Amino acid sequence: DAGVTQSPTHLIKTRGQQVTLRCSPKSGHDTVSWYQQALGQGPQFIFQYYEEEERQRGNFPDRFSGHQFPNYSSELNVNALLLGDSALYLCASSLLTASTDTQYFGPGTRLTVL
Amino acid sequence: KNQVEQSPQSLIILEGKNCTLQCNYTVSPFSNLRWYKQDTGRGPVSLTIMTFSENTKSNGRYTATLDADTKQSSLHITASQLSDSASYICVVTLRNDYKLSFGAGTTVTVRA
């Protein structure tokens, strides 16, 4: 039973570029949430996807967009990268109907913007 | 202002000793509170989850407590090991809202 997987592990981009991060949820999970974690900080909620639609969104600009596919996997896209976008990006999966279920996190993608 | 505050920000303890981490939250209405352990550069791993009606939950050497009246939680680590060195994050979920509110974490360093 595979856990949450993310790719790539590390990524280096320059300002103004665009990036796509990928996430495959834990088997049996239908909901994917994305978080941004700056160094020394707790994760900040970006958005959550269920049934291929964005259910909730945190306080992030429209440069951050996402997508969920029929197999429940998800992508996070960030356009016009800024230096401040450098962070660990975490994907977490859960089962929507189980409100007390633990969200399982992937290992994260470390994005560095130069 | 963060609605989940953790203290201390960091602490150093000797191997074999105990320690207690604190979490205060203001989010409401409350659904559940979770403690996660996060190794450097890795994703968080769940330790405990407590609902409104639970006031203690254990997972091996980790014991979490919850006082929903005062909106406080603690995580107690017993007989610490070097592998306990990590960041411990308190996470609160609102009722009818699946968005999680994260604390900034407490960084624990266990030294031999």
Inter-chain CB proximity A40 and B99 less than 8 Å: no
Tell whether omega for the bond before B29 is within 30 degrees of 0, i.e. cis. yes
Q: Quick check: B23 and B33 in contact, CB under 8 A?
A: yes
Average pLDDT over residues A5-17: 96
pLDDT at B2: 62
Rounded distance between C-alpha atoms, residue A65 and residue B76, angstroms: 39
* Interface membership of A31 toward B (CB under 8 Å): yes
Inter-chain CB proximity B49 and A99 less than 8 Å: no
Rounded distance between C-alpha atoms, residue B17 and residue A110, angstroms: 33
- Report the residue of chain B nearest A41, measured CA to CA: B104
Q: Report the percent of chain A where pLDDT is more than 90.
A: 76
- Which phi and psi (to 5°) does residue B69 adopt? -70, -45
Inter-chain CB proximity A42 and B102 less than 8 Å: yes
Report which of residues B53 and B110 the model is more confident about.
B110
Average pLDDT over residues B29-54: 89
Q: Which residues of A47-59 are buried (b: 16+ CB within 10 A; e: fewer)?
A: bbbbeeeeeeeee
Task: State the DSSP code for A3.
Answer: -
pLDDT in tens, A46-55: 999 999 999 8
Mean pLDDT of chain A: 91
